[in-house]
Structure 1
Amino acid sequence: SLANSIMAARAAFDPNGGPLLIVRSDYLYDWRLLQKMACARFSRGVDAFALVDAAPETLEWISGAHCKAHCKDGHCHALVKVLMGPGDHIARIGHRLAAYDALQAGVYVARPILFQELATLLQSQKFCTVADSMQALAEGGRLRFIETAELTCNVAWFGHETMQ
Structure 2
Amino acid sequence: MFRHRSLIRLSLTLPALLALTTACADPGADAALAAQSALVGMPKGTLMSCAGVPQRETASGGLEFLTYQAGSVSYYAPPPPIGYPWGAPGWRRRALDYDPWDYYPPVPGDVVDRRCEATFTLDGGVVQRLVYRASSQGACAAIVQNCLALVPQRTISRGAPQG
Common fold, TM-score beyond 0.5? no
Taking structure 1 as the reference length, the TM-score comes to 0.28
> Comparing both chains, which one has the higher relative contact order based on Cα–Cα distances under 8 Å and sequence gaps of 6 or more?
1
TM-score for the superposition, normalised by structure 2: 0.28
For the pair shown, the structure with the greater C-alpha radius of gyration is 2
